[in-house]
Amino acid sequence: MVYVSDVCCEECKNYEDISGVYCAGCIHSDYLINNYEPASPELMAKREAKREAMLRKQFLDLIPKDEVVFELKTEFKEAFEKAWTFVPDYSLERFQFFFVSCFDSFIMATDTHRLIKIWTSVPNELIGKDVIFDKDEGKFFIRRKIGNQAIDCAPVFDNGQVQEFLDQAERGEVIKNYKACLPIEDGKKQEDEETPIYVLFNKNIAINKVWVEELLAMFTDLEEITVHFKGPLDAVKFSNSDDIEALILPMRVEL
């Protein structure tokens, strides 16, 4: 016999009805135990996506911003989408780095562990602005400063130091090749992991696997990628000859 304490309401098919009202016939006593019906994996995934969207909206609502109401060119939106992958996840609530900074001919983003610079045509209205993207609504917003250091964008791109980081990273060793031919292999997988959390570059530099995969996806199979490593900053720099420069700090793992 299954008792109420043995099941989770949130895993029941009847946890919410089409109107969004919770506990539509859920189990609250032994007399209603037969009302419990396990939700399908598809339904659970749908609920999780709905919950994530709600949390993203709550986070975005806390950020002072103005909607971009003019049309953005495809080139810019594609470049922005790439840069946006370097913005901290909303769940970390790192307001200070939750933006892409726009300059006259390029855009930049960082989460302090990695950095990206993408050359692109920037609309005049966005030059000098910090921009965010609501992927659920498909809308862009310009962030407003309110004089609160905990909320306002950090001035990480204001003094030219970021460009110095990009330049210094080139003082180390260098490898050039197509992405399929770069010396990248999976690192050690822990017992509780389905896949390794890091990859090894050149056999001895551990880098977050997801970050590397996201970055390499920005390059085509037919363009040559230049990788600088073992420079004065420790960061590994990936770039092409066209529009992308990116830094990723390595992980500290026991090899």
- Confidence band (pLDDT; 50, 70, 90) for 255? low
Residue 4, pLDDT > 90, answer no
Find the mean pLDDT for residues 21-30: 54
- Indicate the range of 7-16, 75-84, 188-197 predicted with least confidence: 7-16
Residue 151, pLDDT > 50, answer yes
Answer whether 130's CB lies under 8 Å from 179's CB.
no
- Confidence band (pLDDT; 50, 70, 90) for 233? confident
Write down the number of H helices and E strands in the chain.
4, 13
Query: Reduced to 3 states, what is the DSSP secondary structure of residue 30?
Result: helix
* Nearest residue to 17 (alpha-carbon basis) of 47, 45, 41: 47
| Distances in whole angstroms, Cα of residue 87 to Cα of each of 33, 98, 203, 225, 226 | 45, 6, 28, 22, 23
Query: C-alpha dihedral over 121, 217, 249, 63, to 10 degrees?
Result: 60
- Confidence band (pLDDT; 50, 70, 90) for 222? very high
How does the average pLDDT of the chain come out, rounded?
A: 89
Q: What is the pLDDT of residue 12?
A: 78
* Nearest residue to 185 (alpha-carbon basis) of 198, 195, 172, 174: 198
- Confidence band (pLDDT; 50, 70, 90) for 229? very high
CA distance 122 to 107: 8
- Confidence band (pLDDT; 50, 70, 90) for 6? low
Q: What is the pLDDT of residue 1?
A: 43
Residue 138, pLDDT > 90, answer yes
Predicted TM-score of the model (pTM): 0.85
- Indicate the range of 8-12, 17-21, 125-129, 171-175 predicted with least confidence: 17-21
- Confidence band (pLDDT; 50, 70, 90) for 253? confident
Q: What is the pLDDT of residue 48?
A: 87
Find the mean pLDDT for residues 54-65: 95
Residue 89, pLDDT > 90, answer yes
Q: What is the pLDDT of residue 30?
A: 56
CB burial readout 111-132, b (16+ within 10 A) else e: beebbbbbebebeeebeebbbb
- Confidence band (pLDDT; 50, 70, 90) for 179? very high
Find the mean pLDDT for residues 238-244: 95
- Confidence band (pLDDT; 50, 70, 90) for 18? very low
Taking only the tens place, the pLDDT of each residue in 36-54 is 777 888 888 888 888 899 9
Q: What is the pLDDT of residue 46?
A: 87
